[in-house]
Amino acid sequence: MPGELRVYNCGPTVYDYQHIGNLYSYITADVVRRTFEYFGYRVTQVMNITDVGHLVGDADVAAEDKMAVTARRESVDPLVLAERYTKQFFVDRHKLNILDPGVVSKATEHIPEMIALIERLLANGNAYVAPDGVYFDITTFPGYGTRLNAEPPHEREAGARVEVNPNKRNAADFALWRAAKPGDLQKWPSPWGEGNPGWHIECSAMSMKYLGETFDMHSGGEDHLFPHHECEIAQSEAATGRPFVRYWVHTRFLRMDSAKMAKSAGAFLRLSDIEERGYDPLAFRLLALGTSYRKGLDFTWEALGSAQTRLDKWRGVIAEAWQAAGGVAAAVSETDPNRTAFAEAVADDFNLAAALAPAEAAVGHATTGDVETKRRALGLLFDMDRVLGLSLRSTAIASTSLPAEARVLLEERARARERKDFERSDALRDELLRRFGIRVKDTKDGQRWERDDRKGA
């Protein structure tokens, strides 16, 4: 419907912690949602949680069930494992100011929908039952594997080692349902015997349940392009006879030392690793905003440090301007040049890198302008932050929220400055920083302060 956006985000497979490369993709999805809401759209956002075994290679000979491998290693039930890592995933999302989806759909809670979709594909002649499960026959869907990818599947897979599965009609057929194997930790009854769903069928069944057989946008990481999203398109459109998704958004990889970050490589950074080095998670978000999702993110500690410096500067300016403006931000004029430039940038394929320039200009006005100029600048920054997601208004409000004892010390310091008792003034400044994490600055308009939690007691 006009004014609405229905969007599905490929969520995590919760067999381990999510690394910052995974989280980078969800920042992109969050920016997409925030941008549409910024322009007045009502967004219905659905995200799945894959808490069923996610196999590499589907039901082929060398398939590895990631959930089972970790569950056995940690000696826990797969659903206990899934709950643990799902909770941590949302903790990390909240630290990055990623908005919660309207619907979070767990694969284990949608097995009947998956079975029903497989039955439609069998009835349409697009799938077949084999001794080890049910497979989608790719020859029944012309153009399979080329909707999102320029190269056909056989060229992309050239040179790769492919295990031969004699139960398949075609080597590239993919599993819709896998027959249970000895030792499986997760299995459900089905018309084809006990087993578990293929990875791809999960997203088709859940997205269409909540968003309809055709919906507006589907997002995920670069690694989802093939086979996952191509398989989703094939099985969904074969079942319904209708277009599946109108627009796709794929975030390119986060790279560290010129290589993509992946759990399989054994070396990856969690958000907690960043925090342990003293960085704010929102500095990572700001770093991510500075590049196009189509290019991916080159992560370095130096770049993160620069983002932290920039974020600290913005917070300091906003806190000082908010205090000087008496806690008032002006209403935003849609004809303001900086607001116009920001809106045009985010509307241009979510170009946040370009949108940061008018945001910086607003920070400059908040630094140098008179009270009314500061109020207009604050209004602009708070408006832009609806997309940026950096908690700028919270920064301003926090700047006037102090423990009573800290406020007493600030007032005492102001009196010390007035009587030119600079020794006492300096001692109080140091005490405020040490005890409360409050950094005081002296300006022509009087003392101003900002929080520096990393320096506080």
- DSSP-assigned states of every residue in 344-381: HHHHTTS-HHHHHHHHHHHHHHHHHS-HHHHHHHHHHH
Residues 118 and 13 occupy one common structural domain: yes
pLDDT at 153: 67
- Residue 412: inside a domain: yes
Residues 104 and 239 occupy one common structural domain: yes
Residues 391 and 412 occupy one common structural domain: no
Residues 295 and 183 occupy one common structural domain: no
pLDDT at 163: 62
Mean pLDDT for all residues in the chain: 89
Say what percent of the chain tops pLDDT 70. Answer: 91
Residues 334 and 191 occupy one common structural domain: no
- Which range has the top average pLDDT, 245-249, 417-421, 452-456? 245-249
| Total structural domains within the chain | 3
Q: Which residues pair with 135 in a beta bridge?
A: 128, 175
Question: Which CATH number does the domain housing residue 190 bear?
Answer: 3.40.50.620
Q: Which residues pair with 438 in a beta bridge?
A: 451
d(CA 310, CA 325): 22
Q: What is the DSSP letter of 331?
A: P
**What average pLDDT does the segment 5-24 reach?**
95
Where would I find the H helices in 124-160? Answer: 153-156
Residues 181 and 282 occupy one common structural domain: no
457: confidence class by pLDDT, cuts 50, 70, 90 = very low
Report which of residues 257 and 351 the model is more confident about.
351
- Residue 261: inside a domain: no
Q: Single out the residue in 369, 398, 427 at which a domain terminates.
A: 398
Residues 307 and 420 occupy one common structural domain: no
Range of the domain at 338: 271-398
Q: Backbone dihedral region of 4: left (phi > 0), alpha (psi from -120 to 50 degrees) or beta?
A: beta
User: Lowest-confidence range among 117-131, 171-185, 346-360?
Assistant: 171-185
d(CA 173, CA 183): 25
**Sign, CA torsion 305/310/311/313:** positive
Residues 338 and 417 occupy one common structural domain: no
Residues 209 and 323 occupy one common structural domain: no
- Residue 264: inside a domain: no
Residues 170 and 203 occupy one common structural domain: yes
Cα angle vertex 193, ends 189, 199, to 5°?
A: 70
Q: What is the DSSP letter of 332?
A: P
**What average pLDDT does the segment 229-249 reach?**
97
Residues 334 and 432 occupy one common structural domain: no
pLDDT at 72: 75
- Residue 260: inside a domain: no
pLDDT at 369: 78
Asked if the model's pLDDT at residue 131 lies above 90, the reply is: yes
77: confidence class by pLDDT, cuts 50, 70, 90 = confident
At 57, is the secondary structure helix, strand, or coil?
coil
Asked if the model's pLDDT at residue 40 lies above 50, the reply is: yes
Question: pLDDT, tens digit, for every residue of 327-360?
Answer: 999 999 989 999 999 999 999 999 999 999 999 9
Residues 210 and 352 occupy one common structural domain: no
At 339, is the secondary structure helix, strand, or coil?
helix
Q: Single out the residue in 379, 398, 417 at which a domain terminates.
A: 398
195-197/215-221 β-pairing: unpaired
Report which of residues 418 and 127 the model is more confident about.
127
At 424, is the secondary structure helix, strand, or coil?
helix
Q: Single out the residue in 251, 281, 316 at which a domain terminates.
A: 251
pTM (2 d.p.): 0.86
- Residue 159: inside a domain: yes
Asked if the model's pLDDT at residue 92 lies above 50, the reply is: yes
**What average pLDDT does the segment 143-151 reach?**
86
Asked if the model's pLDDT at residue 406 lies above 50, the reply is: yes
**What average pLDDT does the segment 70-93 reach?**
88
Q: In what order do the strands lie in the sheet with 259-260?
A: 259-260, 254-256, 297-299
63: confidence class by pLDDT, cuts 50, 70, 90 = low
pLDDT at 80: 87
Asked if the model's pLDDT at residue 366 lies above 90, the reply is: yes
Q: Which residues pair with 217 in a beta bridge?
A: 7, 247
